Amino acid sequence: MNKIFILIVVQFFHSIVFANISKIANEDMVTLHFTSDNRLPYKIGVPFISYGTFTEAVQGLLIESTDSNLPDFQDSLSSLEYAEPNKSDPSIINLKLKKNLYFIDEDSSWEATADDVKFSLARYFFTNLDINAKHSLSNIEGTENIKPGTPYDPELIKAISVINKYELTIKLKKIDIHFIEKLTHAGTPLVSIKTLKDNYFSWKKWPIGVGPYYVLSSNYETGETIIKKRENSKYDSAPKFVRFISSNNSEGDIFWKDMWNLNHEIYKKEVINVSYGTLGIFFNYDSELGKNENFRKAISLSINRDELVNNINYIVKNSEMIPISIWGRANIDLKQNINLAKFYINKVPKYLLKDTIDINTFGQNTDALSKSNFVNLKKQLEILGIKTRFILDDGKLNLNSPMHIVGIQASHKDPSYVFSYFRKGSFYKNSYPKNDENIEDYFNKIILSNDPKEKLKYSKLLSTYLSESAIVVPLWDLYSVYFYNSNKIDSSTFIAQPGGMRFKVWEIKYKINK
């Protein structure tokens, strides 16, 4: 009886919420269609363009950055008033939170404090989840002593010291010239512990933050989420409501990527020539084929990147997993060598190649896989005499597949963020050799060196090693591509966009000023 009553109350509550939402005028709301798999925009693992766009709008950033990737504390999106090395001891970072920042939900609000900043940085080390920011922040002193799954206790991480309501310090194991830059990423926003479940990343209700918008509704089945601009917002001309949807249909005002076959004349295309990440072939090192070095080298040598990117203006070839726009590249250019590729494939046991090989694809849909880059990729692999089949990320993935096509989405200049995908604790659990001393050695030298020249040296060495050893097979870099309803959205919207993995919803401009 009680369960029935609760269910009726919940259904009644949702009917009220969605009834109110249905009354929102079309001209007051902009619909973003960035993904096609019914995932919430704030779910861990969703493509970062969706996750980052949503996170910045609702939670803001600890630190906004300029076009030159310098900290911009004056920007209203920055939660911190400053973050700077201590003059007497640069291994200590001094931080101060801005005053009058409020976490806000539809029916409650409370001011953010330095304790929230501490928790926001410390939670990565207490969670059992594999979150890549754990690598980026691993230079914080004492974090290696925290056992994942331990309940959060501020006393266990004394290196982050709260001085007063707004100020705190962070003690690093070693001076890190890139540390402050790591706080400019949407993966490390300001959060409140009371809004999260015990793993410190799943929300009790939905994301609650200090950004320019707050969540009005969220449908866990369809992924549809609507956010509302705060009252007295400085972004007067920004849309009052922004709706995130995720499906295979062509509904929406702004679309990300060329995945929806938008042939109608009202939809205009905008390409921002800033690389947001690199797509490549990752191997499943828990499978016999994936851990077979001859197989991986054969795959790598069969790739003709010039052919893959030909006649597509939003991708550019890349032989490294570090995107072209990021510091630390070796600038290598791997070439196709079919004879050598066949030499290696002939060394692979025949029984491993007799069946069709499923290749899981992430962040794609049927239309995307029909384009020339994927069609030519399939042909190049089949030159080796192997049969392949692309599998969509729609709940029917072959978890035993030896290969996955997936991207690393890097939104800041630190190459260690990219390299962290190929070591223990990676979000991609099986995509790296388990005991590769070269990866660990190079990675630790990048992280711990205080000399920019040394960092660059080992970054180039590790980037080259990953590609030339076919640990992973980079394919192409992706530029930000948007399609927009030109009857409703003004083209000036995209002049203000930084590109890469970022889209600022508060910079959306209507065709006719409202």
**Cβ atoms < 10 Å from Cβ of 191:** 25
- The token pair that represents 237 in the structure block: 């001309």
Q: In whole angstroms, what is the distance from residue 14 CA to residue 480 CA?
A: 35
Mean per-residue pLDDT, 126-143:
88
* Amino acid at the residue 381: L
Which of 324, 329, 335, 325 has the alpha carbon at shortest distance from 476? 324
Q: pLDDT value at position 274?
A: 80
Length of the chain: 514
* Amino acid at the residue 309: V
The residue among 514 and 113 whose pLDDT is bigger is: 113
Q: Which residue has the tokens 């849309």?
A: 239
**Beta-bridge partner residues of 120:** none
Q: pLDDT value at position 365?
A: 77
Which of 248, 457, 463 has the alpha carbon at shortest distance from 369? 248
pLDDT greater than 70 at residue 57: yes
pLDDT greater than 90 at residue 193: yes
pLDDT greater than 50 at residue 47: yes
pLDDT band at 15 (very low <50, low <70, confident <90, very high): very low
Residue ranges matching CATH 3.90.76.10 in the chain = 61-193
pLDDT band at 413 (very low <50, low <70, confident <90, very high): low
Mean per-residue pLDDT, 24-47:
85
pLDDT greater than 90 at residue 318: yes
**Number of helices followed by number of strands (H, E) in the chain:** 12, 19
Q: In whole angstroms, what is the distance from residue 252 CA to residue 257 CA?
A: 13
pLDDT in tens, 435-477: 899 999 999 888 878 788 898 999 999 999 999 999 999 999 9
Query: What average pLDDT is seen over the chain?
Result: 88
pLDDT in tens, 144-189: 999 999 999 999 999 999 999 999 999 999 888 778 988 988 788 9
pLDDT in tens, 359-373: 988 877 788 888 899
**Beta-bridge partner residues of 245:** 33
- Helices 437-448/452-468 angle, 10° precision: 160
The residue among 297 and 16 whose pLDDT is bigger is: 297
pLDDT in tens, 70-122: 788 888 889 999 999 999 999 999 999 999 999 998 888 999 999 999 999 99
pLDDT in tens, 279-311: 999 999 999 999 999 999 999 999 999 999 998
Mean per-residue pLDDT, 3-26:
49
Rg for the chain, CA atoms, rounded: 23
Mean per-residue pLDDT, 479-488:
91
Mean per-residue pLDDT, 424-439:
84
H-type alpha helices, 60-173: 114-126, 133-136
Q: pLDDT value at position 397?
A: 62
Q: In whole angstroms, what is the distance from residue 48 CA to residue 323 CA?
A: 15
CATH class of the 61-193 domain in this structure: alpha beta
pLDDT band at 11 (very low <50, low <70, confident <90, very high): very low
pTM of the model: 0.80
Q: Which CATH superfamily is domain 275-479 in?
A: Dipeptide-binding Protein; Domain 3 (3.10.105.10)
**Beta-bridge partner residues of 359:** 390, 403
Q: In whole angstroms, what is the distance from residue 375 CA to residue 327 CA?
A: 31
Q: Which residue has the tokens 């200090």?
A: 210
68-72 contacts: CB < 8 A, separation 24 or more? 69/181, 69/184, 69/412, 69/413, 71/180, 71/181, 71/184
Residue ranges matching CATH 3.10.105.10 in the chain = 275-479
264-269 contacts: CB < 8 A, separation 24 or more? 266/485, 266/486, 266/487, 267/483, 267/484, 267/485, 267/486, 268/483, 268/484, 268/486, 268/491, 269/481, 269/482, 269/483
